[in-house]
Chains A and B, each alone.
Chain A
Amino acid sequence: DPKIIQKPKYLVAVTGSEKILICEQYLGHNAMYWYRQSAKKPLEFMFSYSYQKLMDNQTASSRFQPQSSKKNHLDLQITALKPDDSATYFCASSQAPGQGGEGNQAPLFGEGTRLSVL
């Protein structure tokens, strides 16, 4: 059974619309992340959260807003969608740094949400 659940798996949106990408993890982790992978580009870090608090944000645009309603949830709201936002968005989780062995802090990834903006 998948331990990091992302919904939906595929998403098609029109330019200018708004979408929410869902992520839940059942690994008991305290830290959660969002990464983006565009065609022909490396995985790119977007946000990190620990105990539901924002720790780092390397996304230039305010159109991307993470939302954490529970400690094992980290959703991603994207507003005013553009075709350049088309990518696979991966949610990841780990033990918060400082907890457990070094391997325990390596982020584990969900299967991703593939977003296409037309």
Chain B
Amino acid sequence: GQGVEQPDNLMSVEGTFARVNCTYSTSGFNGLSWYQQREGHAPVFLSYVVLDGLKDSGHFSTFLSRSNGYSYLLLTELQIKDSASYLCAVRLPNYNVLYFGSGTKLTVEP
């Protein structure tokens, strides 16, 4: 079966950083995407990675290790408005199908 695991909750402090972890075990892998979702709203695309290593996109960076089935989303210089759920999704070999984790709710405190 497919499995994408994320911690339920994460807390951090404004101005610092937060690392949202994701581990996966899936039948096939065509890349991994991260989305941000606020309560009652659509998931918003943040990043897509398919090669190992760190992809720096400024406020958001994404790391992937395919051999370990592991990814993380790193948010730096946190702002209160970064408080949201962050969803990890593995792109399966099926036609652009995404298999989502349950999401990590990040709370940024002053």
Contacts and interface: CB of A to CB of B under 8 A. Distances in A.
A90 to B, nearest CB: 6
Contacts of A110: 42
Interface in A93-111: 94, 96-97, 102-103, 105-111
Range of interface residues on chain A? 20 to 34
Contacts of B48: 102-103, 105-106
Nearest to A40: B102
Given A43-B87, A44-B100, A97 B45 contact: no
Most buried by B among A45, A48, A94: A45
Interface stretch (B10-18, B64-72, B73-81, B91-99): B91-99
A48 B99 CA distance: 13
Nearest to B42: A109
A18 interface: no
Given A56-B94, A102-B48, A45 B99 contact: yes
B100 A42 contact: yes
Interface of B: 4, 31, 33, 35, 41-45, 48, 50, 87, 89, 94-103
6 contacts: A42-B4, A50-B95, A56-B97, A102-B48, A108-B45, A112-B41
